């Protein structure tokens, strides 16, 4: 895949024409939604009349998404780890594709795709897309900042200046912005996890972080569920060597949130949080270790070694993936063997 610069990515966006048929594909967390909305608003600024926004989580590419992309001549992808979409994108050499991402490049993607990737310095996709569209999206800086903060950008020195500058300008602390804005929006997105178009449309219309009443009225139920799962973790977690393993079931997709909360409270502990939706065979994984020596990508890849229909990838401190339910015992066995090698 051709590696391109920030300037080249901007040139791709500037060449968008009103008659283009565009599909914006983004991840289902706040970093992904922020990126998707920034790109959507940019295309609206360019007077595009045919823009589709498609949200992708850790599930395989659906037939619905494939059908929606068919008649598009341009795809813009943001915040989707390469291991989720590498095989899928091979079928679209007839389209112009810009891929904006910050995950580890652990999978080769077709050479015809333009790849703007920043991962050696931690730059969430919402930061990258805002920098690319800042001229047109100045009023949505607050949303880009919420995406960055939920993606843990504040833990990296390279993001201190941009975050502190925004917080000072808005006269709010990081703690309060995270609690009252970023976390509330994240809970709202989780509440509407089965109606992603609805949550996109609601959030896209919000003009300021001071006007989140429509968002906050949906977040309380999710926040109560998080508290209940955290309590259950303390009572039912499984310890495999030096690794905390925990499975839960919920109507909400909370594995990533739970993993983040637990790892923040215990930064020198490793966590693998697992969830399984009712009636599905896939077990979804979220791993965390908030330490500079972290490499939870390798941890999950070891866990799924030689397991069919499984995948893993992400960041050194935060990774995700999935496996088949019948392979869970083998996954645990692999993790146990790996844990024994850790210092």
The pLDDT of residue 47 is above 60:
yes
Are 13 and 42 within 8 A, CB to CB? Answer: yes
* Burial (0-12, 13-18, 19+ Cβ within 10 Å), 337: middle
pLDDT at 58: 64
Helices (H), the chain: 6-14, 30-45, 63-69, 82-89, 125-137, 141-150, 160-170, 174-177, 183-191, 196-205, 213-216, 219-236, 255-265, 296-303, 328-339
pLDDT band at 48 (very low <50, low <70, confident <90, very high): very high
| 260 or 64, higher pLDDT | 260
Q: What percent of the chain has pLDDT over 90?
A: 76
Q: Which CATH class is domain 6-216?
A: alpha beta
Tens digits of residue pLDDT in 200-230: 999 999 999 999 998 998 999 999 999 999 9
pLDDT at 343: 60
CA 172 and chain centroid, separation: 25
pLDDT band at 262 (very low <50, low <70, confident <90, very high): very high
**Segments of the chain assigned to CATH 3.90.1640.30:** 6-216
- The candidate with the shortest Cα–Cα distance to 331, out of 255, 309, 314, 316, is 309
Q: Which two tokens stand for residue 115?
A: 């790849």
Residue indicated by tokens 């490499």:
295
pLDDT at 90: 85
pLDDT at 233: 96
pLDDT at 61: 74
Q: How many Å apart are CA 202 and CA 205, to the nearest integer?
A: 6
Give the alpha-carbon dihedral of 110, 295, 233, 173, to 10 degrees. -90
Q: Which CATH class is domain 221-339?
A: alpha beta
Q: What percent of the chain has pLDDT over 70?
A: 98
Q: DSSP 3-state assignment of 327?
A: helix
Range in 13-27, 52-66, 189-203, 257-271 the model is least confident about: 52-66
Instruction: Calculate mean pLDDT across residues 233-246.
Output: 94
| Maximum Cα–Cα distance across the chain | 58
Q: What is the pTM of this model?
A: 0.84
Helix crossing, 125-137 with 6-14: angle to 10°? 50
pLDDT at 64: 84
The pLDDT of residue 1 is above 80:
no
Tens digits of residue pLDDT in 81-114: 887 787 788 889 999 999 999 988 878 888 899 9
**Segments of the chain assigned to CATH 3.10.310.40:** 221-339
């Amino acid at each position: 895949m051709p590696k391109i610069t920030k300037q080249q990515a901007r040139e791709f966006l500037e060449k968008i024409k009103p008659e283009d048929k565009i599909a914006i594909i983004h991840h289902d967390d706040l970093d992904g939604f922020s990126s998707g909305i920034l790109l959507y608003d940019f295309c609206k600024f360019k007077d595009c009349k045919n823009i589709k926004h498609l949200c992708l989580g850790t599930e395989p590419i659906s037939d619905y998404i494939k059908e929606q992309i068919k008649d598009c001549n341009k795809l813009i992808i943001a915040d989707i780890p390469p291991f989720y979409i590498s095989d899928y994108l091979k079928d679209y050499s007839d389209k112009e594709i810009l891929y904006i991402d910050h995950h580890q490049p652990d999978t080769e993607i077709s050479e015809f795709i333009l790849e703007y990737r920043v991962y050696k310095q931690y730059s969430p996709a919402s930061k990258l897309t805002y920098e690319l569209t800042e001229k047109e999206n100045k009023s949505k800086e607050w949303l880009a900042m919420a995406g960055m903060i939920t993606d843990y950008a504040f833990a990296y020195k390279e993001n201190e200046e941009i975050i502190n500058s925004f917080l000072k300008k808005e006269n709010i602390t990081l703690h309060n912005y995270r609690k009252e804005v970023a976390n509330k929006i994240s809970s709202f997105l989780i509440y509407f996890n089965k109606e992603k178009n609805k949550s996109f449309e609601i959030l896209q219309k919000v003009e300021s972080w001071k006007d989140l009443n429509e968002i906050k009225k949906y977040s309380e139920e999710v926040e109560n569920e998080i508290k209940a799962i955290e309590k259950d973790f303390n009572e039912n977690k499984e310890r495999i060597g030096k690794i905390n393993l925990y499975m839960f079931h919920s109507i909400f997709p909370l594995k990533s949130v739970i993993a983040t909360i637990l790892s923040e409270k215990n930064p020198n502990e490793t966590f693998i949080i697992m969830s399984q939706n009712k009636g599905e065979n896939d077990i979804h994984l979220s791993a965390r270790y908030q330490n500079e020596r972290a490499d939870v990508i390798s941890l999950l890849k070891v866990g799924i070694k030689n397991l069919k229909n499984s995948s893993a990838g992400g960041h050194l401190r935060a990774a995700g993936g999935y496996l088949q339910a019948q392979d869970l015992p083998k996954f645990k066995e692999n993790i146990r063997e790996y844990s024994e090698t850790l210092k």
